Structure 1
């Protein structure tokens, strides 16, 4: 695969997805064509051999829902396009109407041709500025939730932290403005040289959560001899600390922790929501358990909502570096400065080297569930994942769990494993999280509310207690991408104003705290 093939796609994926009109409202076609240049159709339902799926195209294989069908004969060695971008090379001849997947579509090593800034455009400005009802902290930070947090510097103090948090379960009825007392624990914090990247990433996560506006108070619990000692971690946040080895042991630390939190309840409860501009939104973008529809429906609709967030002066945090692999050129074209685009390319190259050092290739993604849903390789998955970022300019690239300060669309380096990536985004300051899924991922991310966007209607109907938004309306032909994006934007504002999400009602969000240790333990 040569480097000019993907870069020849002159539209970014979000725009391509917008042009992929939904099925007619008065009919229910069995397939959808995303771009006239594509070699594939996408099955909207399970298709049997012999079915006419499009003019001149008859299915010759069983085609699962979400999978690809050849629009035309494809020779072995020829490139295959989806979203008007190359997604791979035919590893065998493919007949018109044939099923295209892992059995006949291969990745080939290629060098991406990157350009910088050629697709930047003026940032749109909303004609009417929207607001949400948030909590404004004394220092001006804006919160969407009001938790008390218990954080740990090391796994050795995790049980103590949970004991303290468990004490307050069912005991906050007199404090209706407090969303809960939560212990966010982890498995690391020691056994590592203090200078390596994994420890620095953990420190950034702890510091970011300690400073998060969605916490009215933070109590840190340490052991006393760990690498991630508490010196300097809390910074100027509203936290304090207890060290087990200095507080008389576990039971004494639990008693002291309960006392400190009880002393803070009245003050933490003494808050009121007030209207704040939508520019105070910092929305994390995640996708997990993707299928062949994710890039067409849920990710594209979320991208339309992101454009509205940016138009209102807010921030959207795109992430999952290993799921932009092979599609990163779509972001470098939108980079406001060359150095911003080069930061992204540098992170991609780091990942290539990191994977190689562990005997892996970065393109070993997608997961088995992704493949079952119709995604053949990482490039196809990445092209669909890019749609979450909408169409506006890329203004900055951040390291893992680094504090996000820029307004607009930004990128944060992180793995594609959802808990690890979302943890970084929340540490960076995200006060709402939007999570798209085509397979049915279960997820939450306290203290930040997490909205779940289903890519297809059967999933939404199958898991009604887990999903907040049905984006299958785009496939069903009952809604346009712009209409779905506006609906999601409205729900983001409502969520930021206090409306509980499905994952919050189920109680998700404590176990998902998962700082990235980068795989090294001594």
Structure 2
């Protein structure tokens, strides 16, 4: 049965509207009835008690803001009457005992993955083509044009027939008004050519704007990120194009590869333009070696692997007021189940942990882990303030429109993706996950930068929750898009893989939704395509370690 409102934590002094509430609507929770004094849109919050200026507002059991002006019982919380506020945090207190979920039904389950020489298992099998510096992006594009279509990897829908139809209408004398009113239908692309290498999921071209200029630390971070992709279990091998004089030297990349995989044995073909001379020399060599690498990659096949070989990245983007009460806690349950099964989980987006620091500190397995989190969090926050910003400026206009009106409110809901298991490690970008359990990774809140980083740190599947809808994908790891609400899932079915609006609709519990997501993860890890892969959505943005929220 669907309720009108929800109270997330017993200590909260606000309710969340689960549907649009007109002015004068009586709502009941725990025997108390509150009547709305103004219209409350779905996903927004109404006061359970009168709030004077300066009074704390609590959601998820933590401080998410303070009243900027008086708010009456049943009144709506807005950016005009509420401002960002969080509690301070200190050293860890008594660490709570973790009650792992019952995962007996999944103990013997497997997925079909690609087993690598280092013992890791991939959920996909890609070949990478990577420039060491932005100067090589054009040559990367030349290689892409030469390889993708003829090898059977071109899959995007063509809209060119629409342009041809518009040209014909103009030539027939149609007016601007008639052109604007015509109903164009996207023509389906011609039948996809059969893949020459059926066991290779694709060739990914990781163009970027880095590698030179900036500071040397940018080059080091970029090489670390690229090494994370090259050594990733979803990757069979790589072709590298270097100009030769850039800050991001090939030797720097090789050092970063050795840090992550001392016994690295994948095919790695490196070409330097300033040594090879003409473009034709380099492109021809790159084509030959890439083709040979694809022949080797095609010899690999999917084989059963335990779920402990999964490393799941947790991400949210286009969040709304339902994110923290449907999709994020459902993903949190998946996180706890995977940890209980011996797998690894990555929770990132440090600006979206603002306000829940004490919980993270208390969940850390030891003081060293807690201290590293606190240090990275403080340094990040201080850097944002130093340039005239701050974590309080994190919510986007879309977040605010759909009920996330302070960063602390957004963060408290975003953190629920991490479940309740202990924090076993805190990593600084672009470090690699090396142990099972819940790992924290310092990244921006920006969707693509964070997703790019999580995969570079080892995530072989990403769970991405969204309340507003976003097509974000990744070049090598399947990004499962999870809707927080049913209207979104119905409105944008081409980009949504899983709907957890069923929790809001009263059709299932958070635990049931989480179990449904885990079953889907197993299918995806075994090769079932997600929407982002079908759309060839391969977003890749390295973080330059400047302030990015």
Asked if 1:68 is matched to 2:45, the reply is yes
Asked if 1:286 is matched to 2:325, the reply is no
Alignment partner, residue 166 of structure 1: 145
1:202 to 197, 222, 226: 222
Alignment partner, residue 148 of structure 1: 127
| 1:452-500 superposed Cα distances (whole Å, 9 cap, x missing partner) | 0110000111110101110101000111111111111111111111010
> Is the partner of 2:454 in helix, strand or coil?
helix
Contact kept, 8 Å, 2:123 with 2:477, in 1: the verdict is yes
Q: Which one has a bigger Cα radius of gyration?
A: 2
Shift of 1:237: 5.5
Asked if 1:246 is matched to 2:275, the reply is yes
Inter-partner Cα distance in structure 1 for 2:88 and 2:386? 20
Alignment partner, residue 27 of structure 2: 53
User: What's the TM-score, normalizing by structure 2?
Assistant: 0.86
| 1:15-40 superposed Cα distances (whole Å, 9 cap, x missing partner) | xxxxxxxxxx2xx3221121232111
| 1:138-180 superposed Cα distances (whole Å, 9 cap, x missing partner) | 3322111111111111111112112212322233322111111
Inter-partner Cα distance in structure 2 for 1:77 and 1:32? 24
Shift of 1:213: 1.6
Inter-partner Cα distance in structure 1 for 2:85 and 2:513? 36
> Is the partner of 2:281 in helix, strand or coil?
helix
> Is the partner of 2:253 in helix, strand or coil?
coil
> Is the partner of 1:490 in helix, strand or coil?
helix
* Structure 1 gaps, min length 5: 1-24
Asked if 1:405 is matched to 2:434, the reply is yes
Contact kept, 8 Å, 1:117 with 1:332, in 2: the verdict is no
Matches within 5 A, 1:29-428: 29-54=3-28, 55-108=32-85, 110-116=87-93, 118-121=95-98, 126-127=103-104, 128-172=107-151, 173-194=195-216, 196=217, 198-234=218-254, 235=257, 236=264, 238=266, 239-428=268-457
Alignment partner, residue 177 of structure 2: none
User: What's the TM-score, normalizing by structure 1?
Assistant: 0.91
* Structure 2 gaps, min length 5: 152-194, 258-263
Inter-partner Cα distance in structure 1 for 2:329 and 2:391? 24
CA, structure 1 residues 203+142, in 2 after alignment: closer, same or farther (shift >3 Å)?
same
> Is the partner of 2:250 in helix, strand or coil?
coil
Q: What RMSD over aligned residues (CA atoms) do the two structures have, in Å?
A: 1.6
Contact kept, 8 Å, 1:287 with 1:385, in 2: the verdict is yes
Contact kept, 8 Å, 1:57 with 1:97, in 2: the verdict is yes
Alignment partner, residue 474 of structure 2: 445
Matches within 5 A, 1:487-502: 487-502=516-531
Contact kept, 8 Å, 2:86 with 2:354, in 1: the verdict is no
Alignment partner, residue 13 of structure 1: none
Shift of 1:203: 1.5
CA, structure 1 residues 397+120, in 2 after alignment: closer, same or farther (shift >3 Å)?
farther
Alignment partner, residue 535 of structure 2: 506
Inter-partner Cα distance in structure 2 for 1:439 and 1:34? 21
Contact kept, 8 Å, 1:289 with 1:437, in 2: the verdict is yes
Contact kept, 8 Å, 2:45 with 2:403, in 1: the verdict is yes
Inter-partner Cα distance in structure 2 for 1:84 and 1:56? 21
